[in-house]
Amino acid sequence: MTDNPLLQQWNTPFEIPPFDLIKDEHFAPAFVEAFAQARAAVDAIAGAADAPNFANTIEAMEQAEGLLERVAGVFFNLAGADSNDALEALQRDLAPKFAAFSAETLMNEALFARVSAVGSAGLSAEQSRVLELYNRMFVRAGAALEPSARARLKLIMQRLASLGTTFSQNVLADEKSWDLALGEGDLAGLPESLVSAAAQAAKDRGGEGYVITLSRSLIVPFLQFSTRRDLREIAFKAWVARGENGGETDNIAAVAETLELRAERAALLGFKDFASFKLDNEMAKTPEAVRELLMAVWEPAKTAAERDAAKLTELMRADGVNGDLAPWDWRRYAGILQKAEYDLDEAEVKPYLQLDSMIEASFDVAGRLFGLSFKPLDVPLYHNDARVWEVRKGDRHIGVFVGDYFARSSKRSGAWCSRFRAQSKLGGEVRPITVNVCNFAKAPAGEAALLTFDDARTLFHEFGHALHSLMSDVTYAFISGTSVSRDFVELPSQLYEHWLSEPEVLTKHALHVDTGKPMPQDLLDRLKAAENFDQGFSTVEYTASAIVDLDFHTGAKGDPMEAQAETLTRLGMPAAITMRHATPHFQHVFSGDGYSSGYYSYMWSEVMDEDAFAAFKETGDAFDPDTAARLAEYIYTAGGSRDAAELYTAFRGSLPKVEALLKGRGLD
């Protein structure tokens, strides 16, 4: 045990995990010890003889799982960003163990009795909020159920944890196992940056030549630029078939069982369906409110998409292609249409969007808005591609930020923000260690990595989440950083995207990779004019996924693929557009229940982010100091210390209407 770095004090800068010392074999024994310590602490709290109060019950629980949280913070970040067979096997073993520990803690009668007995007299506003949320957490976990119902719910939660882990690993396995090898004759239409990235992808997989993988930063530009319709079809069908290929990695049975167990869980807790259970704790409150939002957007988005589809079909005919516009055609001809209507194409923009420059741009915006600075650190990390910075505000240490930007086969797809350590003040100041993980295409050695504008937007989005975590300034980790309602958590991230499009940001940081010259005003103007191009397509693919998610959890029965098809038929889904995330690889919803019944939350938050950025524009200054100070106080530093609607209203004065979103997307 004493040789296990996970169980030792970390004498590293800012107590960053000692990744150079941590080995795969250290995790299993560390978890054994961590679970033992956590159980002992929980039992001590539950069995205490003293009358329950906030300090000996709630604050004690805040500190009960310190080692477990530390070990898990390292393990689960590695399992997502740099996994291997050993970590995946341990993850499968741990999933039901974590669920069992959570259930035995939150269904502990003696512990629940103590939490329920803690009075609110004399508590600060933050403490009262934490107490309220603790009581709610216990009730929603089943603490108030009869013993037989608690026992059944405990089994359900363990099985759901295993299913979620299996789902995620199946998708990763499909992504690892597929690539499309390209010969010299298959590169027609591809820009030089994509050819270089495809060559690097082949090298990373131990081969030669060029390959397209299922990384979004490779496959999306391939679908956009390749003139080979046959290859686009092969690539697209592989992309959308993740988790639906039969055999051991097929996810359909896991989805069906997950939906059945979630429905049973909701019924045990007294709700008519799982969506009603999940949303009861969110800003939206009810499935009806979510459906109202989604349908308000669906029809204008569908109309715009159908109008664009007619234009794309004409371009396809002019290109000598007969037949119907297909999903593997859309991006190709949308690019041609964008060039025709706005004289803009990705190949012209991409040389100005160097990864390092966009990272610096995101830091610069944080400096101008919130007074933050970022200093590179030279410490070992878990992968050579990852980088790390100390974050400061003046002389004050704010936290540590890790950026892990490139796609690799050991990393699950997508982009996300996580943390190795949460911010808190209980027992002393603890500043966060936050990580952004992306899947951008890696350039060959000696060349700068170039981003699409969507990639750059993703970078800003995830950094908005990181700031929400880094700037947190609360006492209790339970409500720190991104520990807020699901349909509020996307506000800081989506809002931050807006500054990427600000001309003064692009003029300063969008420098040509070869000449070093800033993006010319003419290109800036065209980029801004095309900001809402193809919004019909992107809104339809997103909203369809959100509605399918909602339908799944409000009573859809039977085969999940049939249920998905029924929803899309009812909506009149355009034939040339698919869901952004089809059910067998819908990791937001089925890798865990974080976004289950909650994929709508990106759109719910977008209603707020459009309105929030308007607060800056109304001043005539995208960096207005007074507005930025309010934003920091009520959004980025407040965590979950107050109700989300209350926090937003404190910042803006009132809650916005859906019209803000429609206007922002050009669908009004």
pLDDT at 667: 87
Residue written as token pair 């990744």: 19
pLDDT per residue over 94-147, tens digit each? 999 999 999 999 999 999 999 999 999 999 999 999 999 999 999 999 999 999
Report which residue type is found at 69.
E
Three-state SS letters, 245-262: CCHHHCCHHHHHHHHHHH
pLDDT per residue over 299-332, tens digit each? 999 999 999 999 999 999 999 999 999 999 999 9
Note if 462 is an active site residue.
Answer: yes
pLDDT per residue over 488-537, tens digit each? 999 999 999 999 999 999 999 999 999 999 999 999 999 999 999 999 99
Length of the chain equals 668
For strand 433-440 and strand 416-421, is the pairing parallel, antiparallel, or unpaired? antiparallel
* Whole-structure pTM value: 0.95
Report which residue type is found at 36.
A
Report which residue type is found at 391.
V
Catalogue the E-assigned strands of 96-184: 180-182
- DSSP conformation class of 51: P
Which of 244, 282, 462, 497 is labelled catalytic? Answer: 462
CA distance 604 to 645: 12
Collapsing DSSP to helix, strand or coil, 121 comes out as coil
Token digits of residue 596? 């289950």
Check residue 447 and give left, alpha or beta (phi > 0: left; psi -120 to 50: alpha).
Answer: beta
pLDDT at 556: 84
Q: State the average pLDDT over residues 28-43.
A: 98
Going by C-alpha positions, the residue among 303, 283, 305 that lies closest to residue 293 is 283
CA distance 512 to 353: 7
CA distance 44 to 49: 9
What domains are there in the chain, each with its CATH number? 5-144 (1.20.1050.40), 178-241 (no CATH), 351-480 (3.40.390.10)
Q: State the average pLDDT over residues 13-42.
A: 98
* Long-range contacts, stretch 306-313, CB < 8 angstroms, 24+ apart: 306/536, 306/574, 307/536, 308/334, 308/337, 308/534, 308/536, 308/537, 309/574, 309/576, 311/337, 312/337, 312/576
pLDDT per residue over 182-205, tens digit each? 999 999 999 999 999 999 999 999
Cβ atoms within 10 A of the Cβ of 231, count? 18
Token digits of residue 598? 């909650």
- Does the structure show a pLDDT above 60 at 286? yes
Collapsing DSSP to helix, strand or coil, 588 comes out as helix
pLDDT at 650: 98
Report which residue type is found at 302.
K
pLDDT at 663: 86
Q: State the average pLDDT over residues 548-569.
A: 95
Collapsing DSSP to helix, strand or coil, 512 comes out as coil
Q: What percent of the chain has pLDDT over 70?
A: 100
Going by C-alpha positions, the residue among 81, 177, 75, 89 that lies closest to residue 384 is 81
- Residue 153's alpha-carbon distances to 135, 147, 545, 554, in angstroms, are 18, 10, 28, 19
| Backbone torsions φ then ψ of 450, nearest 5 degrees | -110, 145
Sequence-distant (≥ 6) Cβ neighbours of residue 177 within 8 angstroms:
none
- DSSP conformation class of 593: S
pLDDT per residue over 268-280, tens digit each? 999 999 999 999 9
Report the alpha-carbon angle 150-153-155, nearest 5. Answer: 115
Collapsing DSSP to helix, strand or coil, 360 comes out as helix
- Residue 280's alpha-carbon distances to 264, 285, 405, 486, 540, in angstroms, are 17, 5, 36, 11, 26
pLDDT at 1: 55
CA distance 489 to 495: 11
- DSSP conformation class of 63: T
pLDDT at 337: 96
pLDDT per residue over 200-247, tens digit each? 999 999 999 999 999 988 999 999 999 999 999 999 999 999 999 999
Do the beta carbons of residue 205 and residue 211 sit within 8 Å?
A: yes
- Does the structure show a pLDDT above 90 at 22? yes
pLDDT per residue over 338-363, tens digit each? 999 999 988 899 999 999 999 999 99
Going by C-alpha positions, the residue among 336, 342, 355 that lies closest to residue 189 is 336
Cβ atoms within 10 A of the Cβ of 140, count? 16
Q: State the average pLDDT over residues 533-546.
A: 97
pLDDT at 666: 87
- Does the structure show a pLDDT above 70 at 406? yes
Do the beta carbons of residue 366 and residue 509 sit within 8 Å?
A: no
Do the beta carbons of residue 414 and residue 171 sit within 8 Å?
A: no
pLDDT at 416: 97
Token digits of residue 426? 């209980």
pLDDT at 13: 97
Collapsing DSSP to helix, strand or coil, 448 comes out as coil
Token digits of residue 37? 């310590």
CA distance 459 to 360: 11
**Structure confidence at residue 660 as a pLDDT band (50, 70, 90):** confident
Q: State the average pLDDT over residues 80-104.
A: 96
Q: State the average pLDDT over residues 5-26.
A: 97
DSSP string, 185-230: GG-TT--HHHHHHHHHHHHHTT--SEEE-S-HHHHHHHHHH---HH
**Mean pLDDT computed over every residue of the chain:** 96
First vs last C-alpha separation in the chain:
62
